[in-house]
A and B are shown apart, each in its own frame.
Chain A
Amino acid sequence: MAVMSEALVPGAADASAELPTATLREMFRFMLLARVLDERMWLLNRAGKAPFVISCQGHEAAQVGAAFALARDKDFTLPYYRGLATVLVMGMTPTEVMLSLFARASDPNSGGRQMPAHYSSRRLRIITQSSPVGTQIVHAAGVGLAEKIKGGDAVVWTSFGEGTTSQGDFHEGINLAAVHKLPVIFQCENNEYAISVPQQQQMAIASVAERAPAYGIPGVSVDGTDLLAVYEVTRRAVERARRGDGPTLLEARVVRLTAHSSDDNDRAYRSQRELTSMRRSDPVARFAAFLHEHAILSESEAQALRAELAAEVEAATVAAEAAPLPEPESLFDHVYA
């Protein structure tokens, strides 16, 4: 059972009551953009044009809901490799994502140095990520520590999977943030798999949020396919952080709608029944239905939006593919600042 503090009981109703329909539509636009972009990357991979893809599919509501609760002109994010929707909301463009997929010189994430989905942009305060998992959690605590030292009011948001909670850096980072009441939000996107290893072999508890009381901070587990529920719990965590009351551990329970990566075959460890049934938890379909139900976005409007985003992604793909690769001599650039 998830542990929820009094102050952080999720309630989608409060949030949706407050949000203007234009914002709800914008949220949906980002979810759908992430999905369309992600699907396009898989096609490019299967066509032999992109060596590696790692997916955000199934995590869109958890990421868009959270990112909309942040101050996009001020706050820091340290998203892990499934954070495509996060970085799109924070300001990265589809073309910039595609430049990274194709390892082009003008890729703002790394200039084609890192594998795709290792997001970074100093302009957007997206802090560069590596592949060993959990390293960003202690960085997030440090960004928060600096914010406290400087007397600023930016909030720091970081994400990771449930497998990463087994790492020492998960403990060390959250503990430091808790001790010093640092303005950090730790979002675990729990899709129940660390590549092939299921949650019950990763931890002996039902919810990652149960760990929060041991650090003396609020923990909340939320349905990560419910965008407005995630938005609401994150909004409260952001308020708490900005007030100087310290960090929050959020668990967004999501589904991983793809294999771990383009090099994985999840049929080796997931049953056909599971592969079929998880589709019913698709957060994009869920939010589309919500908007339709509340007469915020009609089916034809949704279709038109999908076509518009497909065209945007196509243009991004063409532009990125045409961009030059890094020059071999640039191998030696930026070893030292």
Chain B
Amino acid sequence: MPEINLLEAIRQGLDELLAQDARVFVFGEDVGKLGGVFRVTEGLFAKYGPLRIIDAPLAESVIVGACVGAAMNGTRPIAEIQFADFIAPAFNQLVQEAARIHYRSNGDWRVPMVVRAPYGGGIHGALYHSQSIEATYAHVPGLKVVAPATPYDAKGLLKSAVEDDNPVLFLEHKKTYRLIKGHVPDHDYRVPIGPADIKRPGEDISVYAYGLMLHYCLEAAQLLAAEGVSVEVVDLRTLRPLDVETIVESARRTGKALVVHEDNLTGGLGGEIAALIAEHAFEALDAPVMRLGGPDVPAMPFAKPLEDAFMPTPAKIAAAMRKLARY
């Protein structure tokens, strides 16, 4: 089983999907000859040609909206939004159209499409190349939102997303693209949309995260282990629908819960997870549910001290874990 990075895992997934199913095509800015600005689609244009790997005009509403139409005409489009920060012009198409079409047609039409979007910061991307957009879209019934953190999960979830009959927002933390490596099996496999995954079992506190923060939480958990605190790290993987059972079960078992995300604290996924734990595991709790999120500023600044001040880090997460463990 070879070890590859997260970006390569997504590319492998795309390649296999394109090879297996003639209905699948990729549509986005610079995805053709260039292979995307991050090179996720590198080599695919040469292999599948201009009718399967299509360079889109520089216009996000039609990137998503044309995929909505194409999905209703028997294809399985994979849209690429170059940076998640640029998805706003497609908000109407994604939220009001893609997410509502099955419902508003009383089940008559389906929109089987995937929107891939690199998100997240810590890469000197400043305000408009660093954003975390997940909470906004995880709010929307009719959409599914996934945010894999490992190469194995990324490839397996991508296949599930493309094979799903619903619109799926597939979020790829851009700092994990080349940073995170892992084993990916040679055989064809799927990771289902929905289930969370306990990446590190523990007994004293439960920590919930996804994307880059999952890895920072695992690092922090390692530090805490040396201090005698056993931390369970739950990788949410799917942000809508949330795996309520795994979330609640872990909190009931440890009695202490911390949610970590890079997205702004207010209105972030942490609030929803805290509410779920409060509703379903209140009597098992030994401490208030804690949240560690990105600060409530409009977006991540460029200058290094400001970016560092924005980003949750393993050290900041470890501090939050200690505080919770001592409560």
Q: Which residues of A contact B (CB under 8 A)?
A: 76, 107-114, 118, 120-122, 127-128, 130, 132, 135, 138-150, 168-169, 172-173, 175-176, 179-180, 333-337
* Interface segment, one of B37-45, B103-111, B180-188, B309-317: B103-111
In whole angstroms, how far apart are the Cα atoms of A255 and B101 in the complex? 31
**Are the CB atoms of B59 and A175 closer together than 8 Å?**
yes
Query: Which of B96, B100, B104, B166 has the largest number of chain A CB atoms within 10 A?
Result: B104
**Are the CB atoms of A168 and B61 closer together than 8 Å?**
yes
Within 8 A of A (CB), among B219-255: none
0/1 interface trace, chain B 17-59, chain A, CB 8 Å (1 if under):
0000000010100000000000000000000000110101101
The 3 closest A-B pairs by CB, nearest first: A142-B69, A138-B65, A111-B106
Within 8 A of A (CB), among B88-112: 89, 92-93, 96-97, 100-110, 112
**Are the CB atoms of A337 and B107 closer together than 8 Å?**
yes
**Are the CB atoms of B107 and A333 closer together than 8 Å?**
yes
**Are the CB atoms of B69 and A122 closer together than 8 Å?**
no
Q: What residue in chain A is nearest B51 (Cβ atoms)?
A: A149
Q: What residue in chain A is nearest B107 (Cβ atoms)?
A: A334
Q: Which of B71, B77, B93, B109 contacts A138 (CB 8 A)?
A: B93
- CB contacts between A and B, total, < 8 Å: 143
Q: Which of A130, A141, A179 contacts B97 (CB 8 A)?
A: A130
**Are the CB atoms of A334 and B102 closer together than 8 Å?**
yes
Q: What residue in chain A is nearest B60 (Cβ atoms)?
A: A172
Question: Do A138 and B69 contact each other (CB < 8 Å), given the known contacts A114-B104, A120-B105, A176-B62?
Answer: yes
**Are the CB atoms of B62 and A172 closer together than 8 Å?**
yes
Question: Do A172 and B105 contact each other (CB < 8 Å), given the known contacts A149-B70, A336-B166, A337-B165?
Answer: no
Residues in A with CB closer than 8 Å to B57 are 172, 175-176, 179
Residues in A with CB closer than 8 Å to B165 are 336-337
Question: Do A141 and B69 contact each other (CB < 8 Å), given the known contacts A128-B109, A169-B62, A176-B62?
Answer: yes
**Are the CB atoms of B66 and A139 closer together than 8 Å?**
yes
**Are the CB atoms of B68 and A142 closer together than 8 Å?**
yes
B5 within 8 A of A: no
Within 8 A of A (CB), among B261-313: none
In whole angstroms, how far apart are the Cα atoms of A142 and B79 in the complex? 12
In whole angstroms, how far apart are the Cα atoms of A110 and B106 in the complex? 5
**Are the CB atoms of A142 and B70 closer together than 8 Å?**
yes
**Are the CB atoms of B104 and A140 closer together than 8 Å?**
no
**Are the CB atoms of A172 and B142 closer together than 8 Å?**
no
Q: Which of B52, B54, B102, B104 contacts A130 (CB 8 A)?
A: B104
**Are the CB atoms of B70 and A145 closer together than 8 Å?**
yes
Residues in A with CB closer than 8 Å to B101 are 128
B67 within 8 A of A: yes
Q: What residue in chain A is nearest B103 (Cβ atoms)?
A: A334
Residues in B with CB closer than 8 Å to A172 are 57, 59, 61-62, 65
Q: Which of B51, B69, B74, B102 contacts A337 (CB 8 A)?
A: B102
Q: With both chains docked as a complex, state the minimum distance between the C-beta of A165 and any C-beta of chain B, in angstroms.
A: 15
**Known contacts A176-B62, A337-B110, then 17 further A-B pairs from the complex at CB < 8 Å, ordered by chain A residue:** A108-B108, A110-B104, A121-B108, A122-B109, A128-B104, A130-B104, A132-B92, A135-B65, A141-B69, A142-B71, A143-B72, A145-B54, A150-B75, A169-B65, A176-B56, A176-B59, A336-B102
Q: What residue in chain B is nearest A335 (Cβ atoms)?
A: B141
**Are the CB atoms of A139 and B105 closer together than 8 Å?**
no
B136 within 8 A of A: no
In whole angstroms, how far apart are the Cα atoms of A108 and B108 in the complex? 8
Q: Which of A128, A135, A146 contacts B70 (CB 8 A)?
A: A146
In whole angstroms, how far apart are the Cα atoms of A79 and B241 in the complex? 33
**Are the CB atoms of A143 and B73 closer together than 8 Å?**
yes
**Are the CB atoms of B65 and A128 closer together than 8 Å?**
no
In whole angstroms, how far apart are the Cα atoms of A142 and B59 in the complex? 14
Q: What residue in chain B is nearest A142 (Cβ atoms)?
A: B69
Q: With both chains docked as a complex, state the minimum distance between the C-beta of A134 and any C-beta of chain B, in angstroms.
A: 9
Supply 26 A–B pairs (Cβ within 8 Å), ascending by A.
A107-B106, A110-B106, A113-B103, A120-B104, A120-B105, A120-B109, A122-B105, A127-B72, A128-B105, A128-B108, A128-B109, A132-B96, A135-B65, A142-B65, A143-B69, A144-B69, A146-B71, A147-B73, A149-B75, A150-B73, A150-B74, A168-B89, A333-B106, A334-B105, A335-B142, A336-B165
